[in-house]
Amino acid sequence: MSQYRTFTAADAVEYAKRFGGVDDPSALVGAEEIGDGNLNLVFKIFDNQGRSRIIVKQALPYVRCVGESWPLTLDRARIEAETLIEHYKHCPQHTVKVTHYDAELAVMVMEDLSSHRIWRGELVKGAWYPEAARQLGEYLAQTLFHTSDFYLHPHRKKAEVARFINPELCEITEDLFFNDPYIDHERNRYPAALEDLVVGLSHDDELKIAVAGLKHRFFAHAEALLHGDIHSGSIFVADGSLKAIDAEFGYFGPIGFDVGTALGNLLINYCGLPGLLAPREAAEGRELRLNDVRDVWLAFGERFLALAAEKTTDVALAYPGYAQAFLRKVWVDTLGYCGTELIRRTVGMSHVADMKNISDDAMRTECIRSAITLGKTLIIAAPHIEDIDALIARVRQNG
């Protein structure tokens, strides 16, 4: 019987030897803890040649940055491993490979991606990966289509919904996305100069009603097995390669939530670039980012419709034209959730390097301002933004 205990580096090496699935387990000799997150230990396991070979990740029973006062379910390790395994089935080329997991130890072993880099870091530096956006669209389409009612047998779908019930992690999203930024909350963090703008959010009827609708759909619309946190910090990239990681927020929710989170993080980078790069590089980078936004949506939509045409198993949902009608609803959700991601990353507690790394205070404030106003526009105008071109026009208009 395995019982939960926090791993030391030596524990992680022993575990990797037993469950890492490497050909030469005795060659594994060392571990480095590389977790920069708040919730987990992440060990990179090295062999006797100093090469990193495999990753051992263990969930902590509390939120690391806060300490033991904020306990958090260990079941998230099971959810994460099972979400990644499920997504890998449908999109192995863009999902990190999990080779073993143990629910009681809250630990999993997965492929080492040392040849890759976290996409957010690359975006912040102005590095462009020309295939990444279309690959992300492909990941979203494959994973979300194959776990939706279009594809799963209704009995299987219902069992899967029950398997991925994830109350504690969902609650974090429910609070941080949909509550905090729209009320006066101690977790919020934003420049003092934006006080009026932020206070205005909490009094804007149209915005608050739209955000309530987005939260309600997050609660109730079990459309597909989401990644649940697919921002640019949960994505590894390399030349011609993209891999999603960190799926502990996995659960059955609205498809537009994942797509909107993905687009929102590209747009945060768009808003931050003027503060991160020299003017000419920033301008070029922003055009590339808009191109990425277009590519993610078009790759997602095209592949989703192609899969629907080929592989829909439900006789009613297979009727010609229905998948297009559904995709239209996903688009409206996507815009709304994209807006909430922009706002929760700038007003709420979960800030990102795209803004934090801007050294000039006044510039950072202006970049944050533009992310907030864009987020607000998208949430309110979602039903009236016809297509990807109209979205890009709105982004340019926002400045």
Which residues within the stretch 17-46 sit at the binding site for its own copies (CB under 8 A)? none
Instruction: Answer whether 192's CB lies under 8 Å from 368's CB.
Output: no
Quote the CA–CA distance of 37 and 57 in Å, as a whole number: 11
Q: Which is nearer to its own copies, 61 or 240 (CB)?
A: 61
Interacting residue with its own copies among 223, 295, 341, 354 (CB under 8 A): 223
* Pairing of the two strands 98-102 and 52-59: unpaired
- Each residue of 83-102: b (16+ CB within 10 Å) or e? bbbbbbebbeebbbebbbbb
157 binds its own copies (CB under 8 A): yes
Tokens read off for 90: 């449908």
Q: Which is nearer to its own copies, 165 or 306 (CB)?
A: 165
76 binds its own copies (CB under 8 A): no
Instruction: Answer whether 377's CB lies under 8 Å from 204's CB.
Output: no
Interacting residue with its own copies among 26, 36, 155, 278 (CB under 8 A): 155
Question: For the purposes of burial, counting CB atoms within 10 Å of the CB of 354, is it exposed (0-12), middle (13-18) or buried (19 or more)?
Answer: buried
Q: Provide, rounded to whole angstroms, the least separation between the CB of residue 188 and its own copies.
A: 14
Q: Which is nearer to its own copies, 228 or 233 (CB)?
A: 228
Q: Which is nearer to its own copies, 162 or 278 (CB)?
A: 162
Q: Which is nearer to its own copies, 77 or 224 (CB)?
A: 224
Which residues within the stretch 286-325 sit at the binding site for its own copies (CB under 8 A)? 314-317, 319-322, 325
Q: Provide, rounded to whole angstroms, the least separation between the CB of residue 212 and its own copies.
A: 4
User: Strands across the sheet with 28-33, in order?
Assistant: 28-33, 40-47, 52-59, 107-111, 98-102
73 binds its own copies (CB under 8 A): no
Residue 182 DSSP symbol: G
Q: Provide, rounded to whole angstroms, the least separation between the CB of residue 88 and its own copies.
A: 24
Count of residues in contact with its own copies, rule CB under 8 A? 42
Quote the CA–CA distance of 219 and 85 in Å, as a whole number: 24
Interacting residue with its own copies among 18, 158, 187, 356 (CB under 8 A): 158
Instruction: Answer whether 353's CB lies under 8 Å from 124's CB.
Output: yes
349 binds its own copies (CB under 8 A): no
Q: Provide, rounded to whole angstroms, the least separation between the CB of residue 59 and its own copies.
A: 19
Which residues within the stretch 159-218 sit at the binding site for its own copies (CB under 8 A)? 159, 161-162, 165-168, 170-171, 174, 178-179, 182-183, 205, 208-209, 211-213, 215-216
- CB neighbour list of residue 294: distance below 8 Å, 6 or more residues apart: 133, 388, 392
Which residues are bridge partners to 71 per DSSP? 62
Which positions lie near its own copies, rule CB under 8 A? 149, 154-155, 157-159, 161-162, 165-168, 170-171, 174, 178-179, 182-183, 205, 208-209, 211-213, 215-216, 219-223, 314-317, 319-322, 325-326
